[in-house]
Amino acid sequence: MYFQLIETPVSALTEPAAALHYRGEALANAGHYEMALEQFQQVLEQQPTCQTAWVFQAVLLLHLERYEEALMSCDQALALCNSNSEAWLFRGVALQRLKRYQQAYESYNLALRNADALAQSV
């Protein structure tokens, strides 16, 4: 399932932001993407450096076929942490949907490279 990202633990969020995060995750898992998106937008208003919220927002925007916005959300997550493999992965998905195949391929490669580095460090 898309909604099991690990880059930024929810425990690092403030209590109100964590509640919004959990509510957004539950709504997303139930298929209520617009409502979930609103929750993650509120998380980002409170904590704009939360990588996980940027990636969740990107995934929701992909579900809503808002590919340019999804790409921008991934780029925000990557500006915070260039090794976020989920951000690279979903950036690739957004680029693929935008028919920017070479860039998508490059993003997928970076997702794999970063995931390999993470696995080897464990």
Q: Indicate the domain borders of the chain.
A: 13-121
d(CA 45, CA 106): 30
- Asked whether 27 and 42 are in contact (CB, 8 A), the reply is no
Answer yes or no: is pLDDT of 118 > 60. Answer: no
State the average pLDDT over residues 49-56.
95
Confidence of residue 50 (pLDDT cuts 50, 70, 90): very high
Domain 13-121, CATH? 1.25.40.10
Location of structure tokens 């990557």? 78
Q: What is the mean pLDDT of the chain?
A: 88
For the segment 74-93, the average pLDDT, to the nearest whole number, is 96
Question: Confidence class of residue 107 from pLDDT cuts 50, 70 and 90?
Answer: very high
pLDDT band at residue 78, thresholds of 50, 70 and 90? very high
